[in-house]
């Protein structure tokens, strides 16, 4: 199960979010380990998976009045902007920005999960939103 790839402090105790985060984290680590020709082909799939994970969280926030939704969305948007910028360079043959973007995401994701996503889950559990449902 993918959530086992998550460090213990990143596990939120909500299977849907933990599974999505586990898939994302595993995809990042696995893609960074690929040979260059395979990395280039896999990068777009990783970005698609991250977008799906972020979209699910944003839909969850939309299900209730999440007070920190703007901040949470802004963090997603900044990370996605960097990933898309790097993808543009990758399509022109420069893989360095894509490698740096994924490494940055590996460093950023734990902080984002234990702050923004943990807060989101706490809000849901307090009855401020619908229970998480599988996004995949």
What is the pLDDT at residue 125? 82
- Domain of 45, CATH number, reads 1.20.120.50
Alpha carbon distance 120, 122 (integer Å): 5
Q: For residue 94, what are the domain limits?
A: 12-126
What is the pLDDT at residue 129? 55
Query: Is residue 92 included in any domain, yes or no?
Result: yes
- How far is CA 57 from its chain centroid? 9
Provide the greatest CA pair distance for the chain: 48
Other Cβ atoms within 10 Å of 126 Cβ, number: 9
Query: Is residue 23 included in any domain, yes or no?
Result: yes
- Torsion from C-alpha of 38, 41, 44, 48, nearest 10 degrees: -80
Query: Is residue 3 included in any domain, yes or no?
Result: no
Q: Per-residue confidence of the chain (136 residues) as pLDDT tens digits?
A: 344 567 788 899 888 888 888 889 999 999 999 999 899 889 999 999 999 999 988 988 888 778 889 999 999 999 999 999 999 999 999 999 999 999 999 999 999 999 999 988 888 888 755 555 444 3
Query: Is residue 5 included in any domain, yes or no?
Result: no
What is the pLDDT at residue 82? 96
| Number of separate domains in the chain | 1
Whole-prediction pTM value? 0.84
What is the pLDDT at residue 1? 36
Query: Is residue 7 included in any domain, yes or no?
Result: no
């Amino acid at each position: 199960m993918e959530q086992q790839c998550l460090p213990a402090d990143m596990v939120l105790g909500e299977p849907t979010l933990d599974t999505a985060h586990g898939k994302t984290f595993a995809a990042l680590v696995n893609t960074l380990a690929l040979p260059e020709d395979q990395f280039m082909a896999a990068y777009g799939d990783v970005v698609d998976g991250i977008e799906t994970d972020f979209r699910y969280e944003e839909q969850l926030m939309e299900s209730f009045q999440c007070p920190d939704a703007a901040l949470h969305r802004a963090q997603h948007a900044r990370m996605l902007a960097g990933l898309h910028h790097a993808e543009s360079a990758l399509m022109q043959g420069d893989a360095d920005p894509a490698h740096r973007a994924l490494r940055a995401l590996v460093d950023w994701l734990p902080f984002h999960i234990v702050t923004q996503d943990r807060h989101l889950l706490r809000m849901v559990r307090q009855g401020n939103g619908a229970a998480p449902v599988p996004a995949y």
